[in-house]
Structure 1
Amino acid sequence: LVVVEAEHLCMSMRGVQKPGSSTTTSAVRGIFASRATTRAEAFALLNR
């Protein structure tokens, strides 16, 4: 399970022009991909 949250400078400086906007990307493999309850538990812990 990998979760990355970052600020896209292209969103801040051009296009949307919304400073402080962030984008979150996640990727799941293994048990996190096959078991929804395990994945939900991991995401709940990350969002605390």
Structure 2
Amino acid sequence: MSENTVTALFAEYGAARAAGRDDLADLIRDHAEAIDPALVDELDGFDYPAAA
């Protein structure tokens, strides 16, 4: 899987969440899980602030 694919997934997921489209965010999350289950953990932590 290319880095561009992962970057696009995160961009689309962030845009869906920002727009309040939880239905679309869930579809993107399902797609990410099909590509690589580890991506789901990263998406789950997407909205959490980074540790200082």
Specify the TM-score bucket, using the shorter chain as the normaliser.
0.3 to 0.5
Determine which structure has greater relative contact order: mean sequence separation of CA pairs < 8 Å that are 6+ residues apart, divided by chain length: 1
TM-score (norm 1): 0.38
Structure with more of its chain in strand, by fraction? 1
Report the structure, 1 or 2, having the larger helix content: 2
Q: TM-score, with normalisation over the residues of structure 2?
A: 0.35
